[in-house]
Structure 1
Amino acid sequence: MAFDVAVIGAVGIDTNVYLSDSKVNLSVETSFGENLDCIGQAGGYACQGFERLGYRVCFVGYVGEDFSGKYIRQILTELGIDTSLLMIDPLGTKRSVNLMYINGGRKNFYDGKGAMNLCPNIEDIRSHLSGTKLAHVNIVNWTRFLLKPLKEEGLILSVDIQDVTDSDDPYRKDFIEEADVLFFSSTNFADPYHLIKKYLEIRGDRIVVCGMGKRGCAIGSNKGIEHFDPVELEEPVVDANGAGDSLAVGFLSSHYFEGYSIEDAILRGQIAARYCCTKKGTSSELITSEHLDRLFKQINTSRKQDQ
C-alpha cells in the first residue's frame, strides 16, 4: 500500500507542566501548576498533523509493551494512521517532561528509552513504503539506517535536525547530507543564516527551512535565502510544543502535495505552527485542511493589500 507520507522517528507521551511563575522555586517541596499529558514528540505531532490535513499516513517508530505504548497504538490506529511499522522497544515507551514557564520559556527532559540501540528491519520498511511520495524523518539514532534505502526507493526525504547547537555535530552528519528538505530551529543561534548557507553548500539542490519563533522563519534554496515575518492570529500563544513539527507539516504538504510555491507553502506552514501554539497540552487538535485554507486566504489577501 502506498502512502502520501511516512513519518519516521519519535513518538511518546509528553507531560507538560505549566508553571505559575517564570522560574521554579527550589526552596519548597511542592509547586502548584497544571500537568497535561498528550501523545507528543516530533513524530507524534507530525503524523497527527498530516492526518488532520487529510493525508494517508504511515508511522514508523517504536513504543513499549506498556500502558503508554498500547494507548499510542490505539489512538493512532483509530485516527486511520497506519501502525503496521509501529515496533516494540523492550525498554518501554519514550517519555518527555516539559516545564512550561509563564513567560513562554520551556525546559525539556527527554527519556528516549532504547532509541540508541534499536535496529529496524530495513527491507520490511522499504517494502511497506514502496510507492510512498515523502518521508519526514526525526533524528532518532536508528532512523539514519533508513535514509539511503528510502532514497533508493524514490521517496523525497525531509529531515528535522531540531535545535542544532553545532554545524559540525557528528550525530547529525548523516541526516544533513541525505536530506532533500532540511528543517532546523534557531533556538541556539541569534543569526542562523550562516548555518543555512553551510547546509546549502553541502547540497545546493535542496530546501533549508529555519524556524525562528517570534522572529518568523528563513528559507534557503538555489534561489538564495529569504526571511519571512511571523504570522499573527487572534488567539494567544499558550504552548509552543509541536510548533516546529506543524511548520514542517504545513510546508511539506502545501509544496509537495498541493503544488504551492515555496513562498506560499512557507506561509501555510507558519499558519499551521502558529495555530498549534494556541492549543495547550494537546496534539489531537491541530489545524485541519479547511481551516488552513481559510486562514491562508485571509492572511495572504491582507498582506497583498498592504504592499
Structure 2
Amino acid sequence: MTSEYDVLVLGGAGVDTIVYVPELPLPYADSYMIRPGIEARAGQTGDFVALGLSSLGLRTHHLDMIGDDPYGDLVRAFHRDRGIDFTEVPLPGGTKRAVNLVSPDGRRLSLYDDSRSRESDRLPEELVRSLAAASRHAHVSITHPCAFALPLLREAGLTISTDLHNWDGENPYHEPFAYGADIVFVSATALADKEKTMRRILERGRAEAVVATAGAEGAYLLTADGLAHIPAVTPRAPVVDSNGAGDAFAAGFLFGRLTGEDLDRCALYGSVAGAYACTVPATGSDAIDRAGLLREVAEPTSRP
C-alpha cells in the first residue's frame, strides 16, 4: 500500500521577528539603529523542516496548533505559497513567536515567547491517527502537544525522528522525544559530553542513529557500529545566517534515509543542506532542492 505522504511533520509552526544587531552578545545601550531592518516572517523549526523536505521532493504534510491571528496568517501563507499541505488546530494562546537577534557573522540568539502555550494544548488523537495512517515517517518537534502524539505514531507503525535542539543532556522534558525516536538530532552546543549523551540515547531508547550537529566543526553520527565524524561542507556563497541550518540538516538526512541511502550518505546530504541554509538571509525562506543537493554531493569541490 502506497502512503499519501512521505513525512508527517508535527509541531514547530510559528513566526520569528528578525533583528539584525552589530554583534553578539549585544552590549547594553539605550537604543540601536538597525539595518537592514526588523521583519517578522513565518518559519520556526517545523516550518523549516517541512520546507526542506518538500523542496527535496518528498510528499510532506505539516500538522500543528496556531492562533486565529495575523501571525497565524503568516504561517498559513508560508505553506500555501510553497504548496506544503498544512493542517491547523486552534491554539487558544495565539501563534507561537520568537525574536531572533542575528549578528553580521550569521550567529543567532533566539528569544522564545513561552506565554502562548498551555498545559491543556493537544493535537486531536483521531486527527493524528488519520494523518499517521497516510504517512511513511513522522518528524516530531519537541513542543508540549507533540509529546502526547508520540505513542499514537508508534501505534501506527511509523518511523520517527526528532530534533532535541540545544538539550543539555539532563533536562527530563526532552527524554520522551530522545528515547522515543528512531533518528535523533541534537545540537552539541549545550552538551558537556556529547558522546556520553549520544550513547545514552542509543542505549536507553529505540534510536538507530543519533546525530549531534556542531556548526563549523561538522557533525557526529553514532550508530551501533560506533561514532563517526562528519566534516562540515563549505558553502558556495557567504555565510549570512545560521537560522534554520539544523532544520535543513535534518531534512537532508531524512531525504537520504527515505530514499534508501546508508547513514553516512544521509549525514552528507544533511551537511550539504545545512551549509546551503547558512547562505540564506534570516528574513528569507529558501531551501536546497533535490537537483541542487545531488549536484553538490557529486562535485568534490563542494566538500573540504
Is the TM value for this pair above 0.5? yes
| Aligned-partner Cα distance in 2 for 1:248–1:302 | 19
5+ residue gaps, structure 2? none
Shift of 1:200: 1.2
| Aligned-partner Cα distance in 1 for 2:229–2:25 | 32
For residues 191 and 74 of structure 1, do their structure 2 counterparts lie closer, same or farther at Cα, with a shift above 3 Å needed? same
Is residue 267 of structure 1 aligned with residue 268 of structure 2?
A: yes
Match for 1:201: what amino acid?
A: E
Equivalent residue for 2:158? 155
| Aligned-partner Cα distance in 2 for 1:25–1:32 | 14
Shift of 1:196: 1.0
5+ residue gaps, structure 1? none
Equivalent residue for 1:175? 177
CA contact (8 A) 1:48 1:283 kept: no
For residues 77 and 32 of structure 1, do their structure 2 counterparts lie closer, same or farther at Cα, with a shift above 3 Å needed? closer
- After superposition, the C-alpha distances for 1:174-199 in whole angstroms (9 at most, x for unaligned) are 11121111110011136411111111
Q: Show the 5 A alignment for 1:1-307.
A: 2-34=4-36, 35-83=38-86, 85-112=87-114, 113-114=116-117, 116-165=119-168, 167-189=169-191, 191-203=193-205, 206-256=208-258, 258-282=259-283, 284-299=285-300
Instruction: Report the secondary structure of 1:17's partner residue.
Output: strand
- After superposition, the C-alpha distances for 1:270-300 in whole angstroms (9 at most, x for unaligned) are 000000000002453110111101001113x
For residues 205 and 62 of structure 1, do their structure 2 counterparts lie closer, same or farther at Cα, with a shift above 3 Å needed? closer
Deviates more, 1:204-213 or 1:175-184: 204-213
Match for 1:242: what amino acid?
A: G
CA contact (8 A) 2:41 2:74 kept: no
| Aligned-partner Cα distance in 2 for 1:10–1:205 | 21
**TM-score, normalized by length of structure 1?**
0.92
Instruction: Report the secondary structure of 2:154's partner residue.
Output: helix
CA contact (8 A) 1:200 1:208 kept: yes
For residues 20 and 149 of structure 1, do their structure 2 counterparts lie closer, same or farther at Cα, with a shift above 3 Å needed? same
| Aligned-partner Cα distance in 2 for 1:228–1:144 | 30
Identity of aligned residues (%): 32
Shift of 1:116: 4.3
Number of matched residues?
A: 300
For residues 153 and 297 of structure 1, do their structure 2 counterparts lie closer, same or farther at Cα, with a shift above 3 Å needed? same
**TM-score, normalized by length of structure 2?**
0.92
Shift of 1:23: 4.1
Shift of 1:154: 1.2
CA contact (8 A) 1:22 1:103 kept: no
